Structure 1
Amino acid sequence: MDTKIIQLTSAKGPSECCLAVALALKAMIAEAKANKFHYEVVSRFAGDINGTLSSATLKLEGKNLNVFLNSWQGVLLWIAQSPHRKFHKRKNWYIGINELNNANIQQLNENEISFQTMRSSGSGGQHVNKTETAVRAIHKASGLFASCDNYKSQLQNKNEAVKRLKIKHAEWQQKKIGEQGLNSEWKNNNDLSRGNPKRIYKGEKFIME
C-alpha cells in the first residue's frame, strides 16, 4: 500500500485562489473516496475569508496512488467570476498541487517534541474513559501540535501523533518559505506552468472541463 502526502496551495494568491483550494480539496476527497483510498486531512490553513483555505495537506493511502496523483499534480485553473469582488474583471484563478517530499517531513528534530497524554474520545466504553491512551505531540519551537487516539496502545498513538506532526511541520515550513518569497524555484515553475494547467474547473459549481 502506498502513502502520499499532497499539499494544495494558493501560492500567496488572492481570496479567490484560496476558495479554489477549498473547492479542490473537496473534489480531491470525493475522488479519493470513489477510488477507495483512505484519506486524512492533516492540516488546513484558513484564508482571510470564511470558507477559504490558503493551503491544505491531505494524506492518502491505497494502491496505484501514483496514477491518481499524476492526474492532479501541477497547476489547477479555476475559471469563474469572483464571488468576493462583484465587478472584478479577472476570471482565471490558479492554485498549486504538489506531493510533499518525504525528506522534508523527516527534518523535524524529535528532541524538540513534548508529549501530553489524554483520555481517548474514541469508542471503547469505560476502559477508554479510565485510561489515558490518547497522545498529543507538541513542537516547542513552532507551537504546532498533532494528536492521535486511534489506537488502544499509547505507544501506537504516540508514534502516529509524531508522524502527523512531522507532516504538519513540513507544510508549515513550506508555507512560511512561500510567504517570505524565498522559494523562487516554486514561483518560477508556477509561472511557467500557468499556460498548461493539469486540470481546469469552471463556474461556481466547480465543474471539471
Structure 2
Amino acid sequence: MLLNNTTLVQITAAQGPSECERAVAVTLRAMLRDALRAEVQLHPVEENATVAGFKSVLLQVQGAHAHDWLLQWEGTVQCVFASPFRPGHRRKNWFVGIRRCDVAEDDPALDDRDLRFQACRASGKGGQHVNTTDSAVHATHLPSGISVKVMTERSQHANKRLARALIAMKLAELAQQNADLARRDRNQQHGSLERGNPVRVLRE
C-alpha cells in the first residue's frame, strides 16, 4: 500500500456496445448496495454518462474493510440481461471491467507549480451529500491541459488532495497510452518494411 494514498476504482465498458454501458450502471448499483452492507464508502469522482448508462465511472473508496472488499470486485464482471436496445438479439451476457488504482496524493513526479486550483460551487442532485459552499475544486495541469473537478470531500483542502491524486493517475494513464501507441507504431514499421529501392547499400 502507498503512504498518503487515495484508493480509486474504475468501472468501465471499455470498447463494448451500449449494452455494456448499461451493464456499468447495473454494476454500479450492485457495488453501492454491497458496499453499504460491508460498511465501505463509495464516492463518485467522475462519471462518463451516456444515453445507455455509463462509459465509465470512477469512485473513491474509503473504509476499514475497503481493501478486502475490493478484492471481491476487481476484474471482469458479467451482467446477464436481454438487450433493451436490440429486441430479439440473442446475446444476453455483457461484460465490464473493474480496476483498482492506489494513487499517491503527494506524488513527487507531479510539480505543484504545474497545477492551477480554482474553488467552485459543488453541483448535483442536492441533499446532504452535496456541498453548499465553494468547497469543490477545479484543478488543471497546465503542461498537459488535463482538468478535473472534485467535490467528493466536504473541505476544499481535502478536495485539492484528491484532485492532485486524480491528475497524477490521469498523467500515468496518458504516459501508458503514449507508450502503447509508440509500440504499435514500431510494430507497423516492422510490417511495412520496403524490400526494394534502398537508400543505402552496405556490403561486408
TM-score by length of 1: 0.64
CA contact (8 A) 2:8 2:58 kept: yes
Match of 2:76 in 1: 75
The CA deviation at 1:42 is 0.8
Match of 1:10 in 2: 13
CA distance, structure 1, for counterparts of residue 104 and residue 137 of structure 2: 24
CA contact (8 A) 1:137 1:158 kept: no
CA distance 1:81–1:104, change in 2 (3 Å): farther
Match of 2:27 in 1: 24
CA distance 1:158–1:59, change in 2 (3 Å): same
Which runs of 5 or more residues in structure 1 are unaligned? 123-127, 152-156, 184-209
CA RMSD of aligned residues (A): 3.7
Does 1 or 2 have the higher relative contact order (CA < 8 Å, sep 6+)?
A: 1
Match of 1:164 in 2: 163
Within a 5 Å distance, the mapping from 1:25-40 to structure 2 comes to 25-40=28-43
Give the fraction of aligned pairs with identical amino acids, expressed as a percent.
27
CA contact (8 A) 2:39 2:65 kept: no
The one-letter code of the counterpart of 2:112 is E
The CA deviation at 1:31 is 1.4
Q: Deviations over 1:102-121 (max 9, x none)?
A: 26994654333212234789
Specify the SS of the correspondent of 1:100: strand
TM-score by length of 2: 0.65
Query: If you compute each CA radius of gyration, which structure gives the higher value, 1 or 2?
Result: 2
Match of 2:154 in 1: 150
Specify the SS of the correspondent of 1:170: helix
Q: Which moved more, 1:168-177 or 1:67-76?
A: 168-177
Q: Deviations over 1:144-199 (max 9, x none)?
A: 22244723xxxxx1452242353266258649967x9949xxxxxxxxxxxxxxxx
Within a 5 Å distance, the mapping from 1:1-150 to structure 2 comes to 4-47=7-50, 50-102=51-103, 106=107, 108-118=110-120, 135-140=137-142, 141-148=144-151, 150=154
Which runs of 5 or more residues in structure 2 are unaligned? 127-131, 182-204
CA contact (8 A) 2:137 2:163 kept: no
CA distance 1:9–1:134, change in 2 (3 Å): closer
Match of 1:198 in 2: none
CA contact (8 A) 1:144 1:169 kept: no
The one-letter code of the counterpart of 2:149 is A
